[in-house]
Amino acid sequence: MIRTVLLVDDDAAVREALGQTLELSEFQAITAGSFVAAKDHITPGFQGVIVSDIRMPGRDGFHLLSYAREIDAELPVILLTGEGDIPTAVSAMGQGAFDFLEKPCAPADLVAVLERALKTRALVLENRALKRQLETGDPAARMLFGSSQQAEALRARVRGVAATGAEVLVTGPPGSGVSKVAEVVHLMSATAQGPFMKRSAADLSPTDLGAAIGDAAGGSLFLDEVSALPGPTQYAALEMFEQGMGARLIAGTTADLAAQAEAGRFNPELFYRLDGMRVRIPALSERPDDIPVIFRHYVAQAAEQAGIAPPEVTPDHLAALMAQDWPGNARSLMSAAMRFVLGMPEDVAQAAELGLAEQMARVERSLLVAALGRHNGKAAQAAQALKLPRKTFYDKLAKYAIRPETFRR
């Protein structure tokens, strides 16, 4: 979360004291002695919050508040007021100030208000980013949510393989959205104007495969759970590749297809043909930073389906969501959003009531998994990224029963 605070006060001693308080609390402080000096920092892209004294020579805190709200009506501004100026501060709240504090304010009070303001600011910015994603004409940005490095890499990979026109293998853990990613590949392909046909690979005969390819002519055929494709149909698929299919084949699986090919349960030649263009979907546990964005999207979607206004999602609720493993991935998160919208009892509430030790353990495990995901299961690189000695890193992997090879691709 961005922790930038623009501190505005004409008293240099006050600026220095408050600036030290902010730095000790791990905020990034930008200081200014006047409205004129501060306004250049207040831009549409400013992601932090503002703390300003009300009484300053020339243009005062009210001018600054008005200017900030013209730039961004949702930018939190916290005003500092002198003794006896409470009515003035209350008036400022009516004009849109986020909060006010009486000078001299206790460091703990200032930090508490800033934490609350920054959480609010983060939610506003994430909602705006989500809205931009929904409005874009790019299917990858519109349908594959998240701002993490893993989400960006997934979108880039989808765009890259879509442009090739070759066969694609989409892999991911159960509930991660293999079918959805396959559809995005289709929508970004040269065959996007053609049909997108989805067929279950289980029990699909060679004749059925031929018919499905015919139905998908000029478009894409998605074979769901291709690991279950019968042996004779696997050989038939290879023959059809050689003859030219007339449709793009996109295969999806939640199984370890490489292991199945090695064990003789899947045709190795077909595996290598598909694996040339692979898209791997990272588990939610590998990218916990994306959980708030995805959850709010599902909440909005569920509320629209239910015909009700979406309920507020608090920062504490999001923090509890991020501390969970989500073995069911996006599918489980979607179900949680539906229950949240309908006011049904939710397991995440129980997670929020866990003791500090267990909550910290869940967060620690999530960070370990995310680091391994970013570094393709390379433990040494993940340990270095987390600034942990290698032995400590491996001890923690053992503690949480995490296997690095699970994240190799």
pLDDT: is 119 or 237 the higher one? 237
* Domain total in the chain: 3
30-46: average pLDDT = 88
More confident residue, 118 or 351: 118
Q: Is-contact 67 94, C-beta < 8 A?
A: no
Q: Check whether 297 has a pLDDT greater than 90.
A: no
- Name the pLDDT band for 377 (thresholds 50, 70, 90): confident
DSSP 218: T
Do 74 and 192 lie in one domain? The reply is no
Top mean pLDDT of 121-125, 135-139, 285-289, 341-345 is at 285-289
CATH of the domain at 104: 3.40.50.2300
Same-domain status, 109 and 149: no
Tokens found for residue 34: 């006047």
pTM, entire model: 0.60
Q: How far apart are CA 9 and CA 233, in angstroms?
A: 75
CA 66/CA 72 separation, integer angstroms: 10
Q: Which of 44-48, 346-350, 356-360 has the lowest mean pLDDT?
A: 346-350
Residue 340: predicted pLDDT: 86
Are residues 335 and 397 located together in one domain of the fold? yes
Contacts 24+ apart (CB under 8 A), 315-319: 315/119, 315/122, 315/123, 316/352, 317/348, 317/352, 318/291, 318/292, 319/352
Q: Who wins on pLDDT, 319 or 360?
A: 319
Domain boundary among 132, 149, 168: 132
Reported as a single tens digit per residue, the pLDDT across 100-110 is: 888 888 888 89
**Whether 276 and 289 share a structural domain:** no
- How would residue 349 be classed by pLDDT, with cut points 50, 70 and 90? very low
* Confidence at 83, pLDDT banded by 50, 70, 90: low
Q: Are residues 126 and 35 in the same domain?
A: yes
| Whether residue 81 sits in one domain with residue 166 | no
Q: What is the mean pLDDT of residues 45-52?
A: 90
Tell me the C-alpha distance between 321 and 362, whole Å.
10
Instruction: Name the nearest CA neighbour of 294 among 91, 127, 174.
Output: 127
Q: How confident is the model at residue 135 (pLDDT cuts 50, 70, 90)?
A: low
Please report the sign of the dihedral spanned by the C-alpha atoms of residue 262, residue 266, residue 267, residue 272.
Answer: negative
Domain match, 250 and 292 both: no
Question: Which of the four pLDDT bands, split at 50, 70 and 90, describes residue 8?
Answer: very high
pLDDT at 406: 66
Summarize the confidence of residues 8-36 as an average pLDDT: 89
Q: Domain check: are 206 and 235 in the same one?
A: yes
The pLDDT, as a whole number, for residue 230 is 95
Residue 154: CB atoms within 10 A of its CB come to 23
8 and 93 inside one domain: yes
Residue 132 above 50 pLDDT?
yes
Return the pLDDT at 233: 95
Last residue of a domain, one of 280, 309, 335: 280
178-192, 270-284, 334-348: lowest mean pLDDT where? 334-348
Q: What would the two tokens of residue 58 be?
A: 């020339």
Question: How much of the chain exceeds pLDDT 90, in percent?
Answer: 33
pLDDT at 367 exceeding the cut of 80: no
Residue 250's pLDDT is what? Answer: 96
What tens digit of pLDDT does each residue of 241-277 get? 888 888 999 999 999 999 999 999 999 999 999 998 9
Instruction: Express each pLDDT in 191-249 by its tens digit.
Output: 889 999 999 999 899 999 999 999 999 999 999 999 999 999 999 999 998 888 889 99
Q: Give the domain extent around 123.
A: 4-132
Last residue of a domain, one of 226, 256, 280: 280
Distance of CA 114 to the CA centre of its chain: 24
CATH number of the structural domain spanning residue 230: 3.40.50.300
Give the CATH number, domain containing residue 356.
1.10.8.60
Residues 25 and 128 in one domain: yes
* Rounded distance between C-alpha atoms, residue 409 and residue 407, angstroms: 6
pLDDT at 45 over 50: yes
144 shares a domain with 120: no
pLDDT at 137: 59
Q: Which two tokens stand for residue 336?
A: 């949680």
- Mean pLDDT for all residues in the chain: 85
Round to whole Å and give the CA distance between 373 and 384.
Answer: 14
- Whether pLDDT at 409 is above 60: no
My answer on whether 305 and 265 are in the same domain is no
* pLDDT band of 346, cuts 50, 70, 90: low
